[in-house]
Structure 1
Amino acid sequence: MTSLRLTLIANAATAATRQAAFPLDEGLESQGLAKATALAVSLGRVDGAWTGPARRARQTAEALGLQAAVDPALADIDLGRWAGRSLAEIAAEDPQGLGLWTSDPDAAPHDGESVTRLLARVGSWLEAAQPSQGRIVAVTHAAVIRAAMIIILDANPRAFWRIDVEPLACARLQATAGRWTLRSLG
């Protein structure tokens, strides 16, 4: 029986990552670029690759040596008016909004994307990817990988913020006979 082996890779670190800030469309920091380049040797055979449209995702894919097609469905969660701002700044200015966003998957107090909308987008992407075969790599963002984990594990969407995804973390998935399984996360 043929199947799809999908590796989701979180983009490498940026200045926003190090500052606990919500990113804008920024490039990788030099240390993140070096780590992505070093990770390339461990990927093995890759039959196809996708990347999100953000600069940090595309640069990570390039550093990994991938010729990846850009797919808007792999975009980071839309952070609305919070993009480019630090978590501490948002917590000080809008603690109720931040609390609501991290506790209610349907909330979007930042005028961006709710976790529920992100889950729907990622779920559609995973469903569309299932007919593919071979070993595929998708360079994306921590939020997209969290969403994929919630979907694959059929977990409560409120658990979204309990999944920690570091820069360059890899989630290895397999689709066989219309069913996704988690092979590893690390």
Structure 2
Amino acid sequence: MHVRLTLLAAARSSSVLDVRFDDDRPLDAAGWQEVQRMIPALAHLAAAELRYCSPSARCRETGDVLGLTPLAQPALRDCDMGRWRGRTLQEVTALEPDAVDQWLSDPRAAPHGGESLLAFIQRVGAWLDTRPVQDGGWAVAVTEPSVVRAALCYVLRAPPHAYWHVEPQSLAALTVTGRPGEWSVHLV
């Protein structure tokens, strides 16, 4: 079985300075404009046999604006950040600097009481490996940028710390081809 999966990072829901952990805010005005401007370049995604999204408001809205009518997938939700949910990195660092250092340096650590980075990457990888796409088929998912990062780490079998070196921009697409456990990155 050989399939193609395209992960599209959702449009923005806040300015870069206001990015919050596990944020469920809808698209902001700039995000709406960004998606509308990109409709011609991304219209081909509607041809995918299966169309999914992360359950967050901005992912659902990005998919809807693109005409995908995506099905929300709980496994594509952002990393569970426990008690840090809704806070910025700057806020958390001011309150819990040692916990932030531990989280950034140990992929098995979850000092926030949520999900470790390693568990997050494995969850996203398990979702990739269980897509019900027919041989030769194509699926698209509008996801959080963090999910794109985790998927890339999983597909490349990169060490978890590589996650911190991937920065998907709004509406960036990652396409992988292959089959469960044997993925390749397709660059366009």
CA contact (8 A) 1:130 1:178 kept: no
Amino acid at match of 2:117: V
Corresponding residue of 2:89? 87
Gaps spanning 5+ residues in structure 2: where? none
Corresponding residue of 1:28? 27
Corresponding residue of 2:98? 96
1:125-144 correspondence to structure 2 within 5 Å: 125-129=127-131, 131-132=133-134, 133-144=136-147
CA contact (8 A) 2:9 2:168 kept: yes
Identity of aligned residues (%): 36
Q: Indicate yes or no: 2:151 matched with 1:148.
A: yes
CA contact (8 A) 1:12 1:56 kept: yes
CA contact (8 A) 2:130 2:180 kept: no
Q: Displacement of 1:184 after TM fit?
A: 2.2
Deviation track 1:136-157 (CA, whole Å, cap 9, x = no partner) reads 2101111111111111111111
Amino acid at match of 2:174: A
CA distance in 2, matches of 1:89, 1:183: 37
Corresponding residue of 2:52? 50
CA contact (8 A) 2:6 2:176 kept: yes
Corresponding residue of 1:123? 125
Deviation track 1:15-35 (CA, whole Å, cap 9, x = no partner) reads 264413325321000111121
Gaps spanning 5+ residues in structure 1: where? none
Amino acid at match of 1:159: A
Corresponding residue of 2:174? 171
Corresponding residue of 1:4? 3
Instruction: For residue 32 of structure 1, give the secondary structure of its aligned residue in structure 2.
Output: helix
CA distance in 2, matches of 1:109, 1:177: 31
CA distance in 2, matches of 1:184, 1:125: 21
CA contact (8 A) 2:93 2:100 kept: yes
Indicate how the Cα distance of structure 1 residues 15 and 110 shifts in structure 2: closer, same or farther if over 3 A, else same.
same
Instruction: For residue 172 of structure 1, give the secondary structure of its aligned residue in structure 2.
Output: strand
Q: TM-score, normalised by structure 2?
A: 0.89
Amino acid at match of 1:13: R
CA contact (8 A) 1:17 1:23 kept: no
Corresponding residue of 1:60? 62
CA distance in 2, matches of 1:18, 1:64: 26
Corresponding residue of 1:112? 114
Instruction: For residue 15 of structure 1, give the secondary structure of its aligned residue in structure 2.
Output: coil
- Indicate which of 164, 167, 184 corresponds to 1:181: 184
Structure 1 window deviating more from structure 2 (26-35 vs 132-141): it is 132-141
CA contact (8 A) 1:130 1:175 kept: no
Deviation track 1:19-57 (CA, whole Å, cap 9, x = no partner) reads 133253210001111212232322313222001111111
